[in-house]
Amino acid sequence: MNNLQLSRSNLNRFAHWGPFLSIVIYKFITLTTLYFTELWWPCFGSLGGFLNNALFLTLFVISFSCYLKSVIAGPGFLPLKWKPINLEEDEQYLQFCRICDGYKAPRVHHCHKCNRCVLKMDHHCPWLNTCVGYSNHPSFVIFIFISIIASIQSSILLLKTLLLVLAQYGHRVLIYFPLKLTLLWITAFGLAVCLILTLSLLLYIQLKYVLKNCTNIEDWIVGKAISRREQDPSLPPFIYPYNLGPINNIKTFFSKGDGIHWPVREECGEYDLTIEQLEQKLIKESWKQPMKVIKNYNGRWFPLVFGLCVCCQIPWTDETRMPLNIGDVIQVTRFRKYWMYGHKNLSNGTRLRGWFPKQCVETLSTSSKKDK
């Protein structure tokens, strides 16, 4: 893929509800805040008004630039058909991706939405319409941090506007506040407060990962590794290889390498995490339960035909929903009260994964007894 095709592919990420809605919300809050502030603290009316607007717009430009960079730069993808330099020695420690037709380097995971193996994948973000990974993770964290500061300033300015409006009743009217402006203020203030709460929680989670030099996926792997050793004390202890100490972790987070080779602790090896992944994958394979589809499912998020309980307790995740046809055989790997997660093998050699209602399937042993 040449540079022109690559740039077009990156720009196509904006043709999605996530980036579109993000830009609309961000611009709406910014312009509405500037409008209401101008009513009582005009930009060119005083030095304070000018500095306030300059700070607010500066925060907006920085955060919006980081957002655009996160979307356009993307997470960084492992080259298709990638192989380690020492293939014969290292392939036993690495997973093989059938879709990308290559081995997965350490800290690489395949994203089924991007349909590529992602370097240091943290998670797939629908608001970016791409993954957060090696290339865009620093700009993503900066975007969250600056956006929180800008949202706090916006909410304070909007709240000050409301206090001035309430204080003028019974006195000389300084700010005209009809119903339309009231609704506009409520919407902008509500969105600003929601951004502060949600982004603060997200920033807290991301900073924990930065200080440990891990990702959301790797934190999940480490948690399962610890759980395995609690259940079986005979297993050797697992040490997360990329935790180099808070200062070095921050340096590594903002440093630029190739996204494939990473420094590890002295007592750890390059493939310690991938070896643990392979062992966990073997356990997961042993947990698979084959089931037969007895009811069709069209892949909708709210399948009313299966009842209100199924619709009200959907898995709150951006993972796909898998359409089912009667007679399909599904390998189920995750179970919930009303939903299941699994995969089915397609004729072209690939796998289709996703969630589906529990009512759609039954175990093969049960179905075979009914057939008899």
Q: pLDDT digit string (tens) for 89-123?
A: 888 999 999 889 999 999 999 998 899 999 999 99
- 329 has which bridge partners? 292
Better-scored residue on pLDDT, 69 or 368 = 69
Neighbouring residues of 244: CB distance < 8 A, sequence distance ≥ 6: 213, 252, 263, 265
Amino acid at 269: G
Neighbouring residues of 25: CB distance < 8 A, sequence distance ≥ 6: 191, 195
Residues 35-52 pLDDT 10s:
999 988 999 888 999 999
The residue from 66, 100, 114, 125 that is catalytic is 125
The rounded distance, in Å, linking the Cα atoms of 306 and 60 is 46
Inter-CA distances, 330 with 307, 311, 323, 350, Å = 22, 21, 11, 14
Q: Would you say residue 5 has pLDDT above 60?
A: no
The rounded distance, in Å, linking the Cα atoms of 320 and 47 is 53
Q: Which of 311, 306, 288 is nearest to 296 (CA)?
A: 306
Give residue 173's pLDDT.
52
Q: Would you say residue 317 has pLDDT above 90?
A: no
Residues 160-169 pLDDT 10s:
998 888 876 6
The rounded distance, in Å, linking the Cα atoms of 78 and 184 is 45
Give residue 367's pLDDT.
44
Amino acid at 223: G
Better-scored residue on pLDDT, 154 or 175 = 154
Whether 117 is a known active-site residue: answer no
The rounded distance, in Å, linking the Cα atoms of 168 and 164 is 6
Do 53 and 178 meet the contact criterion of CB atoms below 8 Å apart? Answer: no
